[in-house]
Structures are given as C-alpha cells and as structure tokens.
C-alpha cells in the first residue's frame, strides 16, 4: 500500500467499515443518490440529451456524481453510470426511452454466442475517465464506489429486453436451456471482472455488485445463478487486485445474508428493508459488514415515521460494522428536506 493509499484509507470512515471496523456514527450514502430527486441533476440531464449520452460524457457524469456530495456531504460517492453499459459494450442495443426505463433488443441463442467480452473495457473508456475525474475532485475522506450489475440481474434485462415484475423470461430460459443461460452468465462474469478491475485501477476505492433481482430465484437457482457467479467475480477481481473491497447487494434474499457473505467473500452485504437486521447481525458475527436498509418510501413520507425507522436501524446496528443506506434506490419523489433530516439524525 502506498502512503497516499494509507492516508486515504485512514481518513475514510466508509472504508474503515469495509476493512473491519465498527464506526460510530455509521458512514452514510444512498443508492441512486445522484438522480432525478435533485434539481441540479435534472438540469445536467436536460442538457446532456439521452441518459446513455450522460453516462458516456465524462465531464457531465463526473459533475452529477459529485452533486450529492457537495449538497449533503455523504461519506461515499457512487460513480454515475448504469448496470446496462455492460450489455451495450458487449455489442447489444440498449436505449432508455423517456419515462419508460431501459429497452434492449431481447437476446437469443445466436446473440449469446456472439457476445463480445474482449474490448469491453476499451469500449467503456469514457466511464473510466469519469472515475479518474471524480477521484481527482473528491476530498480524501470521501470514498468513491464503482459498480456493476450482477450477472443474473443484467441477464434479466438482456433476455426480456426491459424490466419485468418477476423476471419470468429469464427464469424460463434458465429452466429450459440451462447451458445456454450459463453461457450468458459466464460471459457476464468475465466482462464484469475486467470492468471492475478497470474501475479500481482508475481510482475507485470499492465496488458494489447490484443483484436487484436475486430475490425472484428459488434457493438452489439463487445459489447457481446469483451467488456463485458473484463469488467468481469477487475471486476474479481479487486475483488481480488483492484486497479489493467489494460490496454485494443481493436484493430480496431475506435471511440468506450470512450464507451469501460466506459463499462470496464480500466485505459488506447491502440488504433491503425486509431483512431483519438484528438477526442477520448476530448470524454474521462481525465477519462481514452490513449496509442498508431504510425503506425508500419512509424517506418519501418523512416525519415521525421516518425518525422512528432511522432510530430502529441505528439501535439494531449500534457497535456493529455498519453503513447506513436505503434498502433500494432513492425515488424521484423524495423531498430533499427528508434527505437532510435523515443525515442529521444518523450523524446525531
């Protein structure tokens, strides 16, 4: 570790938790913290053109990454990008229809075989430039989180061509043609390793793997299609970047957090609001940090309900390795005053 790295690590409360410490008050950042609930984001978004244009514009993407840090002073910034830049870089058509979410050309058997893994990092050079710019502008005490989607979640969008409520198209392909599905997952594992290593090389201090749809899988399928590919990504990244700090976010896995932590070796597990923090904390016994898990709707609602929920989380996690976050992304309807209220309450 270089001197600069040591100094930075000591200064960041967020990285201290990933490295094994319990920090009080806990560090805080919010999933989707750069987004439409911020007027300054909407302004940059409007001048950028399409959403992907913004993701591939290093100057603007760096600006929106920094906006929530400047406004709220979160302990970590998260790279402004999207999990679907990977299928885009693998040669698939991806677009974001205004107000409708992502649209991809649904992938078939030939499409899976034609996926390009080599060259993914080169095609994401502009995102890596964003990482460099952001790390260069952030205070040393603010960590920078890079990310990718977990193979299963990315595959669900590639197969259905859009978001669906229960990921039936991906579950059907996995059930009907497990070898074909495995080929898609394997390619995504390889591309994700290359991409996360490149983000760490460009200056990310930690990376998060978003498995937003892990919860739709039956337990054996969850282990095969979510947990095991994430474990391979963690091992593949650490083989090239020993000690790389990695957060897993397997949304919807209920009580299976400790087995997930053991199987993947992540430094922290992000949990949604349905996960019983106290029970999971006891099961983990400090071997892995927890991150979460306020219901984003409570942040929309505000008031005494929000304060009570924050206090419950702080009480459940007092003295433990914990990073305060939401249980999923902040929604556009969230009042900025409620985010301020949250931060004040967490920081006491």
Q: Which of residues 48-67 bind ligand CP3 (CB under 6 A)?
A: 51
Question: Is residue 123 flagged as an active site residue?
Answer: no
Q: Are strands 101-104 and 143-149 parallel, antiparallel or unpaired?
A: unpaired
328 annotated to a ligand binding site:
yes
Beta strands in the chain (DSSP E): 76-78, 94-97, 101-104, 143-149, 206-211, 246-250, 268-271, 289-294, 322-326
CA distances from 233 to 62, 145, 191 (A): 26, 16, 9
Question: Is 32 assigned to a binding site?
Answer: yes
Q: Which stretch binds ligand CP3 (CB under 6 A): 96-104, 197-205, 290-298, 338-346?
A: 96-104
Q: Is 82 annotated among the ligand-binding residues?
A: yes
Spatial neighbors of 19 by CB under 8 A, at least 6 apart, are 9, 245, 267
Catalytic residue among 82, 194, 205, 211: 82
Q: Which of 106, 329, 341, 343 binds ligand CP3 (CB under 6 A)?
A: 329
Residue 249 and residue 208 in contact, taking contact as beta carbons nearer than 8 Å: yes
Stretch that binds ligand CP3, among 79-87, 106-114, 194-202, 316-324 (CB under 6 A): 79-87
The token pair that represents 101 in the structure block = 């979410």
Based on CB atoms, which residue is closest to ligand CP3, 267 or 281? 267
User: Annotated catalytic, 45?
Assistant: yes
Report the distance separating Cα 301 and Cα 313, nearest Å. 17
Cα–Cα distance for residue pair 80/66, rounded to 1 Å: 9
Catalytic (active site) residue 224: no
Nearest to 270 by CA among 57, 50, 52, 78: 78
- Which range, of 76-84, 167-175, 194-202, 236-244, touches ligand CP3 by CB under 6 A? 76-84
Mapped to the 3 state alphabet, what secondary structure does 308-322 carry? Answer: HHHHHHHHHHCCCCE
148-177 positions binding ligand CP3, by CB under 6 A: 149, 153, 163
**CA 206 from centroid of its chain's CA atoms:** 10
> Does 212 count as an annotated binding residue?
yes
Tell me whether residue 82 is one of the annotated catalytic residues: yes
| 72 in contact with ligand CP3 (CB under 6 A) | no
**Is position 34 annotated in a ligand binding site?**
yes
> Is residue 247 close enough to count as binding ligand CP3 by CB under 6 A?
no
Give the span between the Cα atoms of 334 and 92, in whole angstroms: 33
The answer to whether residue 82 forms part of the interface with ligand CP3 (CB under 6 A) is: yes
Catalytic hit among 45, 135, 232, 245: 45
* CB 223 to ligand CP3: min, Å: 21
Q: What's the closest the beta carbon of residue 50 comes to ligand CP3, in angstroms?
A: 9
- Name which of 328, 292, 151, 147 is nearest 227 in CA terms: 151
Find the farthest-apart pair of alpha carbons in the chain and give their distance in angstroms, rounded.
56
Q: Please identify, among the stretches 147-155, 173-181, 184-192, 256-264, the one whose residues bind ligand CP3 according to the rule CB under 6 A.
A: 147-155
Nearest approach, Cβ of 210 to ligand CP3 (angstroms)?
4
Among 49, 73, 91, 101, binds ligand CP3 (CB under 6 A): 101
From 14, 195, 210, 322, residue interacting with ligand CP3 (rule: CB under 6 A) = 210
Instruction: State the catalytic residues.
Output: 32, 36, 45, 82, 157
Binding site for ligand CP3 (CB under 6 A): 31-36, 45, 51, 78, 80-84, 96, 101-102, 147, 149, 153, 163, 210, 212, 329
């Amino acid at each position: 570790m270089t001197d600069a790295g040591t100094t930075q690590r000591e200064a960041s409360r967020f990285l201290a938790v990933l490295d094994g410490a319990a920090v009080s008050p806990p560090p805080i950042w919010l999933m989707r913290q750069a987004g439409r609930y911020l007027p300054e984001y909407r302004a940059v978004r409007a001048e950028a053109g399409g959403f992907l244009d913004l993701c591939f514009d290093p100057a603007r993407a760096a600006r929106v990454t920094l906006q929530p840090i400047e406004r709220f002073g979160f302990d970590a910034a998260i790279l402004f990008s999207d999990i679907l830049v990977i299928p885009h870089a693998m040669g698939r058509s991806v677009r974001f229809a205004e107000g409708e979410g992502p649209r991809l050309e649904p992938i078939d058997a030939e499409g899976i075989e034609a996926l390009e893994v080599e060259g993914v990092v080169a095609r994401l050079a502009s995102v890596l430039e964003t990482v460099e710019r952001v790390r260069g502008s952030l205070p040393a005490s603010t960590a920078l989180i890079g990310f990718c989607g977990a193979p299963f979640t990315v595959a669900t969008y590639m197969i259905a061509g859009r978001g669906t409520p229960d990921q039936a198209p991906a579950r059907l392909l996995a059930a009907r043609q497990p070898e074909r599905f495995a080929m898609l997952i394997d390619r995504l594992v390889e591309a994700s390793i290359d991409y996360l290593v490149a983000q760490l090389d460009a200056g990310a201090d930690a990376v998060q793997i978003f498995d937003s749809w892990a919860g739709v899988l039956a337990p054996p399928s969850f282990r095969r299609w979510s947990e095991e590919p994430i474990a391979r990504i963690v091992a593949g990244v650490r083989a090239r970047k020993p000690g790389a700090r990695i957060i897993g976010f397997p949304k919807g896995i209920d009580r299976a957090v400790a087995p997930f932590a053991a199987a993947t070796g992540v430094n922290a597990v992000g949990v949604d609001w349905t996960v019983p923090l106290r029970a999971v904390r006891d099961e983990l016994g400090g071997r892995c940090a927890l991150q979460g898990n306020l219901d984003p709707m409570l942040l929309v609602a505000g008031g005494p309900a929000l304060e009570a929920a924050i206090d419950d989380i702080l009480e459940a996690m007092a003295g433990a390795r914990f990073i305060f976050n939401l249980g999923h992304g902040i929604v556009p309807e969230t009042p900025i005053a409620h985010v301020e209220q949250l931060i004040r309450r967490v920081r006491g």
